[in-house]
Amino acid sequence: RPISIQSVFSKVLESLMCEKLVSFLQRNNSLSPQQHGFIKSKSTTTAMFQFINSVLTSLDKKMVSIGIFFDLSKAFDCVVHEVLLGKLERYGVPDVVQV
């Protein structure tokens, strides 16, 4: 049982930190308009719509379109956390958000 309690706590903490970080980045115009992950009212559906719209626009203009996709599902597991915290500090993310 303690594992599931810790897991729930971890998920709640992660959700709160994500919300604070995204809010900070949006206030400081640090997110690209093409960012769809972890943004309210955006999703994989809106990302695909934007991608397909871009391809169709290019085809209408007789241009070539190329799509490159990365699976980053386990990318955070490989991050050196000290480097990440240093980069957050250089971007001006306050310690309160970094917890």
List pLDDT tens digits, range 3-27. Answer: 556 678 888 888 888 888 888 888 8
Per-residue pLDDT tens for 41-87? 999 899 999 999 999 999 999 999 888 888 888 887 888 988 988 98
Domain ranges of the chain: 1-31, 32-93
Please give the angle made by the CA atoms of 75, 78 and 84, to the nearest 5 degrees.
Answer: 90
Phi, then psi, of 83 in degrees rounded to 5: -65, -45
Distance of CA 88 to the CA centre of its chain: 14
Whether 22 contacts 31, CB under 8 Å: yes
